[in-house]
Structure 1
Amino acid sequence: MTTDPKNQQSALQGNDVARDLTIGNFAQTINYNQIIQEAKLTGGSLINLPQTNVTFFAGRDDDLKKVHELLQKNQRVAAVAFVKGMGGVGKSELALQYSLRHFLTDYSGGICWLRANEGTLPTQLQDFVQIQLGEMMPDGLDSGEKLAGHCWRRLSDRLEGQMLVVLDDVKSSDDVNPFLPPQNGKFWVLATTRLVLGKWDQQYTLDVLVLAAAVDLLKSFLPEADPRRGNDAEIERLCEWLGRLPLAIELVGRYLALPNQLDTGISEILQRLQGECMVQLSQITDEERKLLPKNLNVAASFFLSWQELSPLAQRLACMLGLFALAPIPWELAENAALFKLENIQSSRLTKFINGLENIQSSRLTKFINKTLKKNNPKITKEDLKKARGELLNINLLQVIFLEDVHFYHLHQLLREYFKFQYQKHSEWSNIKDKLICSLIKFCNNLSNNENSSNIATSYLKPHLGILKDREKIFDICKSDNEFIEDVLRGFGSLRDYYEKIGSYSIAEDWGIESLEIRKKFYSEQHSDIAQDCSKLAHIYNMNQKYNDAVDYFKQAIQKYKKAGEMREEIKNVIKATRLNFKLDIYYEFDLEKHEKESENLSNDKHDYDLRYEIKELRQEEDKQAKQKEEKRLNSVKEEIKIAVVGYRNTGKTSFIRTLVRDKVGIVEDKAGSTIEPEEHECLTNIKLVDCPGFISIDQYQSYRREKEEKLLSKREILSKNKWTEETIDLCEKAINKIKISDIVIYVVSLENLHDEVTQREIEEIKNTNKKNYSYY
């Protein structure tokens, strides 16, 4: 690597000692945390970079330069620049090193690092905004495009300079495209991937290390006085055999540096890899082969390190391999490793034992107890920490820092290798049971807030996929009836937790899982099945999936009928559900169709006819609506709402501050500070409503016409006309407040008072609100 030492010293000057990073022939002690902290203090940068575990980074000078050129070029023509390459070649580390070297000079706005392989980009963005900006999310945002769009807008408004967005380990363009930042010149996007994504001129292929850099990397793990450092020819052969892949070279280098391997020669290690390790790998099945790297020489380096682990460290590695490819909170791993399965395992054999004669039963019971103790050895937290240390020492496990907390992470190739080892050891099959049961137990406490604010909960979602293994869940439930209730409480807690934080799509998933478990182990007439359907109807409604909401609403009513619930209780369920619906689901319910179905119903007086309940509820709600309107009209004298509207950055908030004599709202030099309507009390019973500023009233009027006349969806209209969602949303929010306000004050600059745009805005206000109208 040929990095200029002077440039490096300039960028890193004044940093305290923390860890050594060797760059080519230049060594500099770097405190990454201090660099990031200083950047935040001096430049207002927003940064969430993971801490690097690499202590020697060489041979990538040209790669760093070409990645920078690719970003510069693609910023003008494409949304994303891709760094692609095989697993273990160092794509993520290259992106991290690039970020560290360029954010002080090119990305003063900050760096947003997102893990693209988890399917949680919107929620990661939400965390970034909440932590870096200290802002909470407004109501009405789900876990999808709306949430991501809001986050990018808030970041765009607050950025002081350009921001680099890193999408690490992209699996599919479809997973990231809906959540990309706007192309407004403020965001530069770099993605790492194993796949061929984007156009050819958006890609840079990262190759393996050149031989000289590979040799330097392996030598970096050996002590300075180690005589093996002088065996260049042997080291070159070893690096070539390992495919010059950084991950494999680092594993072998750390293995050579172990105290019990200091007298092991380079040629001896190569012979061991080519001999014993390859012999072991030659005996695997085709199915097992799929879990290993394409280059079996790399897998041999894994096997070499695996042999150095204690049995407990091997079991811990296999358990960590069952977690998702995402940061792993140690609390979850520790809970799983320490979870006791004796009750579940022994109950699986209870029926068989009970059917034996007393002598046989007694002998078998002793044998089973002995076997259970052997497969579930007593483990302490200290034992686990020692096992974790073994994995960390030879780089089979990495530690990362998120929100000042230690998390643990597996390289994807190593994760697959640990899964391969898990499958080879049938005696370790209970590891998955322990992980599932411990996660269920953890989720049970979400509903009573024991874990809802826990840092582990924030990073829980990617690891929940294992709980959707219904075959495994059913198998455990059959062995332990009490576990059925644990599962239902856990899934119900997940459903309620994600609904509470507005992640309705995730809440839907766990609502469905809960329902499927109940259907498997409960009778169709059980009222809890109806309750699950009712909750799903509510969640689908909140997520604006009204057809699905109606389907589950119908199922809830029918299930309650079969369960023999009282008429009044069923009515309360319908009413409670109806009051939460934003659309009139009774029209969706299709009364005419239901009336035809009702003709076939029994004439028994106890038979429940939904038609009449619907009609009664409509009449009741019409009555309530009239009463509410009458109350509103009567209270006008008691409370007056005044909407303050106008084009963006015309001083609406400043005007309100003057009237209320308080520093309310947000006032900045940039336009668009107000994105949500805010009410401020001016005098007793008089409230001023600070509305979002108009961006383009012409686009909003055209959007409304196309929606009403052509019946197009919002997404279709925006895509067709290439309009931004922000333009329409802000206008809609302002217009909605104008409709319900008693007085409207239109704030306009005098120099723009008579232009055409101002006149169209005034006409829109007049058509929307027929009440009093004032200028300012």
Structure 2
Amino acid sequence: MKFVGRDEELQNLHQLLQENNQVAIAAIAGMGGLGKTELALQYAKNQRENYKGGLCWIQAKADDIGVQVIQFARTHLDLNPPEEFNSSEKIQYCWRNWCEGDVLLVVDDVTDYQQVRLYLQGVSSRFKVLMTTRQKLGASIKQLSLDVLQPDAALELLRSLLTETPERIEREDVVKQLCEWLGYLPLGLELVGRYLARTPDLSLSAMMQRLEKKRLEQPALVKPEADMTAQLGVQAAFELSWQELAEDDKQLGCLLSLFAAAPIHWNLVEKCLPEKDEDELEEIRDDKLINMHLLQRKGEDIYQLHPLLREFFQYKLTGLEQAEEFRRSLCQVMVAVAKEIPQTPTLEEINVVSLAIPHLAEVADHLIQYVSDKDVIWPFVGLSCFYKGQGLYTQAEPWNQQCLSTVQNRLGENHPDVGSSLNNLALLYDSQGKYDQAEPLFLQALKLDKRLLGDNHPSVATSLNNLALLYRTQGKYDQAEPLFLQALELDKRLLGNNHTDVATSLNNLALLYHTQGKYDQATPLFLQALELYKRLLGNNHPSVATSLNNLAELYRTQGKYDQATPLYIQALELYKRLLGENHPHVATSLNNLALLYYYQGKYDQAAPLFLQALELRQRLLGDNHPHVAQSLNNLAKLYYSQGRYDQAEPLLLQALNIFEQSLGGNHPNTVRVRDNLANLRDSLNSQQ
């Protein structure tokens, strides 16, 4: 094996073997394919001057260790133990009469330390014993745990193997993807690197495709070349460990392979095997999988399979009787996780669930056929809520799209979950400012809900609300109002007055009245919504922050600045604490507080908040979102008020272009910006 990226390990190994005056025994431990034997070989080469008594290399799995020692002594040291001695006496004779100087005794691929220990009786302190092993051999043995290569070292290893065609490495993205797929395992990297060297016309992209298609059975990973230290392919190297596992150990490894190639919280594994006793499961995990370096501990109750070991266990899973049961069990566990993710998760809720997200994605992408019809929507809904709730709309979008197509294919066009999927995708488009894409989906969802569920159903009220909110955003106030009123009446009748959906309906209708300047009608609705949210959700909830912000906006519009200020500040503080500093709701809150300061003439306080809001919106929503246009317009108004006309004009032009593209030329926001631009140009002309 080409030797790179192990300098620190060589130093640590030498230190372990020199630490005391007694017999130094150390082990290089790790999973198959890490290059344990190669490291021992390199250490022996590098330190040969320090071992005047020579190097004795023993294969633990070959002939009896004692026989190998005696044979070595006869061949290399010209020692001939008396024939009348028994085996143990002959070995002791060899140890006593070994040539002078420190001796390095390497025992390769140890599976049972007791078999080695038996022959070390009477060895003097000048003998340094180095073992390689796939197991943990006990607390008394100093251990150097070998890990995979660092990404830079993995790239260096591939470069060293492709010296005749170095240009193939320059396509960094493909190379990094290849190294990542191989899990930075030295054996896998060397096998693939040598295969690529033998096939100069094979691109790295094509190699990647072949690996993804044939996995561990791809020829590049199967057969080592004659001059390699390793004499087994990846699958064969792992097979040695597999043969030492009991049935329960094998089953647990196969179950773990169904999870994504990411850290796994142990609690999820336990839920997949409810019939197993906790202690029994932990013993299987620790005594075999951890002990044999087949599973890595990543933190408290967090574990992970190496990517290629995951591939190996998945290969073994195909022949396992419990395979389908394990797949269904994992899907049930992940569906339960998805159902617990709120629409707008707080930072705390995100932290709780974040470790499960890759595994939820694995179910959605590769195991969805094992999710029941009644739950098929949930993996996608959970993933969408996780990302959309953080304002990560581009990451949420493919899950919403995949949800709709999966539900349509599985359940047909006439199913309530299709209506929910249409609604969710439309809501996402609405958040992204893609109003033209959102509207037909909202209309389809409403029509489907009415046809399948009847006019008197909470889902119909939700669909009415969503469509009405879009119409309000588009400035179609006359179309929005009857829908809001219908939704509110339905929610109250079906759910009672004390329900969060009623609070949402009250809030949405109030927003419309506020936009229309009907402040007397908006005020009591905003107050009712706020009181309901607080009573039902507590004071620390994103919906409460939104309600505080909306009420503050109403007071600001009415010129009630003293009443608006504390509400704005409360809303901003709540958003930051619950959702984090980088969230679209925080940007909205900053923008609104800046507007308050602007209308009070506190330009020095308004300016930094407008700039923060603009930067956040551009970063989170993209440059062409209507909220970005709103921020550009507001900042331009501030500059205009300060007489900074040259700075204001380009901002207004940008805002006008965005509004025209997203809302059309006749929308109130577009008209407002056009008026602002006209006023600015009048002021510029008057200066000339």
Q: TM-score, normalised by structure 1?
A: 0.40
Rg larger in structure: 2
- Give the TM-score normalised by structure 2: 0.45
Write 1 or 2 for the structure with the bigger share of strand: 1
Structure with the higher helix share, 1 or 2? 2
